[in-house]
Homo-oligomer: A and B are copies of this chain.
Amino acid sequence: MAKVLTSKEENYSQWYNDLVIKADLAENSAVRGCMVIKPYGYAIWEKIQSILDGMFKDTGHSNAYFPLLIPKSFFSKEANHVEGFAKECAVVTHYRLKNDENGKGIIVDPEAKLEEELIVRPTSETIIWNTYKNWIQSYRDLPILVNQWANVVRWEMRTRLFLRTTEFLWQEGHTAHATMQEAKDETKLMLKVYAEFVEKFMAIPVIQGKKTESEKFAGAINTYAIEALMQDGKALQAGTSHFLGQNFAKAFDVKFTGKDGKIDYVWATSWGVSTRLMGALIMAHSDNNGLILPPKLAPIQVVIIPIYKKQDELDEISNKVNEITGKLKNLGISVKFDNRDTQKPGWKFAEYELKGVPVRLAIGARDLANQTIEVARRDTLEKKTYPIENIENVISELLDEIQINIYQKAFKFRKENTYKIDNYKDFKDIIKNKGGFVLAHWDGTPETENKIKEETKATIRCIPVSDEKEEGKCMVTGKPSKQRVLFAKAY
């Protein structure tokens, strides 16, 4: 099979687009900026959802569902929120269509104009805090630990499949607490949950940190984020967790009576990850042959391809394969036996490479005679022949090994592409010519942050939260700095 992807080296951006399309993950729709998530792509998203959902529940959260449409006036209630949000959004102004009297199909019925426009949710803090107002009277009603899986719409001008789309799928956690400390703890707990998920399941190392004032969520006191490095040297923000203070409680007048009888505003957090994670997953690991999926998120972990000439050979192979399949399934491994006669083995090999299936087994008449089977791993493209006996245990271990190897490869790549830089000239050079993560000192002012952004297109991804804090001097102004911050060009 001819190579179906543009190579990464030739055009990284085109490689990504090709991959998303050719691996049947998603495609553009007839609606500007909105994507169709195809069954294979959606199966990966379902795995992400299911694992994260379990982690949310293990940390005490429940799911609920709030309205898609939000009254326009709600957005004005929190001053910073409306400034940073809710401008580029889908506005519902009418609630009825009618047949055109001149026979020109259907038109919007001018009689059916809404008194107040409704906004398709770009995020749900406003409608949720308006609801929480009725749920909270006393400290006994707290904490509220609720999450929502939902679609949101932000009218983006430049869209890219998974990375930036007008409509996307996400989860948004919205919690309410009696004390500032509890809300701060929750913010950090969920950041940790996200980091653990992305590292353990997506096999992508992340840096946890705090956003600067100019990069934080509109309406938050602090925003924390996890940042991952893609293979082209650009950063991708993979999840955010916001400490909202009492901002939304004040905007929506949500107060509670404490144990001591005193009345105070409620403390809040919100946190979310989206189908953007799919973009990170694709870009962090894949190669010019196609997708590379960590076994823990692969919809098909093992594919078995028969090599045969005649039907009776296939029958014999199928019997053996059914045995193997049964044993793999008992170990909780998902297997597909591709016995289609419409495609040749070579075509199938390329197809499952493209789709990132972690392990491929091939078995022919000679293997059957020798009681052996060929095992190919997607991450390294290595092939090796094993005895069929006990093959299920070999594969089970191999899947674990692949999961670890993919993570380590990404970790090594990040290490090799992370630079500690102390002068602005070197900084500009690295950002321009190499990309990657740059740890450098910054004086903490938005002026310097802006200057760097304008001159290099690199932004402060986060102020890392870690114990090792090294003092120094801002690479631009020479003013004192308490710790290095993380710079990169970003998606």
Contacts and interface: CB of A to CB of B under 8 A. Distances in A.
A175 to B, nearest CB: 12
Interface stretch (A83-91, A192-200, A465-473): A83-91
Interface residues of A, number: 63
A95 interface: yes
A130 B34 CA distance: 14
Contacts of A75: 97, 106
A230 interface: no
Contacts of A169: 65
A88 B96 contact: yes
A362 interface: no
Given A88-B96, A92-B91, A98-B87, A34 B67 contact: yes
Interface stretch (A38-46, A214-222, A404-412, A449-457): A38-46
Interface in A365-409: none
Given A39-B64, A146-B39, A31 B71 contact: yes
A322 interface: no
Interface in A181-239: none
A292 B127 CA distance: 31
Count copies of this chain in the complex.
2
Given A75-B106, A118-B90, A131-B36, A66 B29 contact: yes
A342 B139 CA distance: 12
Contact of A42 (B39, B65, B76, B118): B65
B92 A63 contact: no
Given A64-B42, A67-B36, A153-B69, A105 B76 contact: yes
Interface string A64-83: 11111111111110000010
Contact of A90 (B69, B130, B131): B69
A46 to B, nearest CB: 6
B89 A96 contact: yes
A92 B67 CA distance: 16
Interface in A130-155: 130-131, 134, 140, 146, 150-151, 153, 155
Nearest to A104: B76
